[in-house]
């Protein structure tokens, strides 16, 4: 998987608070003067036609796509909603500087939008001094997920702003709870990803039943594109970037459908999701 190359969970050296009064519209984030994603962009990312998901399935012509890793013998991760209901949990941990996270978020937004509305997305781009510099994306730092069959917790650990005074790393945005840190340590590890690295990001945990460590596809397919170009292409199933994003989204969706028992049926029984479920050898 792609995230294990050069993107390892940063160890916090110190907590640094940086005040920024203005930001670049192409890279603004939770740590650089939060700038909300335009509704037109959000619509393009969250209202992808079902025909596109079905046409792409799990086909990606430009770069390979890695499906989530299934676990065995793990208790279901659940979250309690504000109304007191227990729902299967989907946990995301990433960082704004990370190009692999930037790529994966496109697919995460697409997949989660099939289970309910997403609000509060911000504009961001990966670090310009990392590999695949300035990969355009959105940030989850202020996002809310109106999902009904699942409960989502998304954390952006670090911004794309380097620490001051010559220190290595990036400023802190959000910190996992003690329980979440323990979950990351347990599941985002070589125990579940032999041959990988401990603490690769992005890390996604779908109900403790399916895991993603590192991006599912190479950010290289996005590298020459603007954010608007990527979003506009999501209606075209022949677009190479769209194929990588949608194939990943179908794999993520199939994994979520497994923990929801196949709900919602209109999504989980769709042609593209069933292609992913078949490839992953899962049924629900």
Residue ranges per domain, the chain?
A: 2-7+26-280
Report the length, in residues, of the chain.
284
* 124 neighbors 37 (Cβ within 8 angstroms): no
**pLDDT at residue number 66:** 98
Pairing of strands 136-139, 210-213: unpaired
* pLDDT confidence bin for 32, thresholds 50/70/90: low
Q: Is the pLDDT of residue 276 over 50?
A: yes
Task: State the Rg of the chain over Cα.
Answer: 17
The yes-or-no verdict on residue 33 having pLDDT over 90 is no
Point out which residues pair with 93 in neighbouring strands: 155, 203
pLDDT at 223: 86
- Residue 26: pLDDT above 60? no
Kindly state the helix (H) or strand (E) to which residue 230 belongs, with its residue range. Answer: helix 227-232
Nearest to 176 by CA among 91, 90, 86: 91
CA-nearest of 217, 236, 246, 214 to 114 is 246
Strands 170-172 and 158-162: antiparallel
Q: Say how far apart CA 203 and CA 187 lie, in whole Å.
A: 9
* DSSP for residue 213: E
Q: State the pLDDT at residue 82.
A: 82
pLDDT of residue 138: 98
pLDDT greater than 90 at residue 1: no
Taking Cα atoms as reference points, which of 36, 35, 170, 22 lies closest to residue 96?
170
pLDDT at 27 over 90: no
Q: Please state whether 73 falls in left (phi above 0), alpha (psi between -120 and 50) or beta.
A: left
Stretch among 12-16, 136-140, 151-155, 213-217 having the lowest mean pLDDT: 12-16
With 60 as the cut, is the pLDDT of residue 53 above it?
Answer: yes
Residue 52 has pLDDT above 80, yes or no: yes
Rounded-to-integer distance, Cα 31 and Cα 28, Å:
8
> How far is Cα 10 from Cα 191, in angstroms, rounded to an integer?
19
pLDDT of residue 178: 98
Residue 216 makes CB contacts below 8 A (sequence gap 6+) with 1, 2, 65, 66, 67, 68, 104, 107, 248, 251
pLDDT(13) > 80? no
Q: Taking the model in full, what pTM does it have? A: 0.90
The arithmetic mean of pLDDT across residues 244-269, rounded, is: 98
3-class DSSP assignment, residue 136: strand
Average pLDDT, the chain: 90
């Amino acid at each position: 998987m792609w995230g294990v190359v050069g993107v390892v969970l940063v160890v916090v050296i110190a907590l640094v608070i940086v005040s920024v009064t203005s930001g670049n519209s192409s890279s603004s984030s939770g740590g650089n003067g939060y700038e909300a994603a335009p509704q037109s962009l959000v619509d393009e990312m969250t209202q992808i036609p079902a025909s596109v998901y079905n046409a792409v399935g799990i086909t990606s012509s430009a770069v390979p796509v890695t499906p989530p890793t299934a676990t065995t013998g793990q208790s279901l991760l659940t979250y309690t909603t504000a109304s007191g209901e227990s729902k299967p949990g989907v946990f995301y941990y990433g960082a704004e500087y990370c190009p692999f996270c930037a790529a994966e978020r496109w697919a995460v937004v697409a997949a989660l939008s099939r289970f309910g509305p997403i609000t509060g997305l911000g504009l961001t781009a990966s670090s310009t001094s990392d590999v695949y510099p300035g990969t355009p994306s959105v940030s989850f730092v202020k996002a809310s997920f109106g999902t009904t069959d699942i409960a989502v917790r998304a954390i952006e650990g670090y911004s794309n702003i380097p620490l001051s005074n010559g220190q290595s790393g990036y400023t802190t945005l959000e910190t996992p709870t003690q329980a979440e840190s323990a979950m990351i340590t347990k599941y985002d590890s070589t125990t579940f990803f032999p041959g990988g690295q401990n603490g690769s990001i992005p890390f996604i945990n779908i109900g403790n039943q399916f895991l993603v460590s590192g991006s599912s596809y190479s950010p290289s397919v996005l590298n020459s594109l603007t954010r608007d170009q990527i979003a506009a292409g999501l209606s075209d199933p022949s677009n190479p970037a769209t194929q990588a994003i949608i194939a990943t989204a179908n794999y993520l969706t199939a994994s979520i459908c497994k923990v929801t028992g196949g709900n919602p049926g209109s999504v989980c029984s769709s042609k593209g999701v069933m292609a992913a479920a078949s490839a992953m050898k899962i049924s629900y």
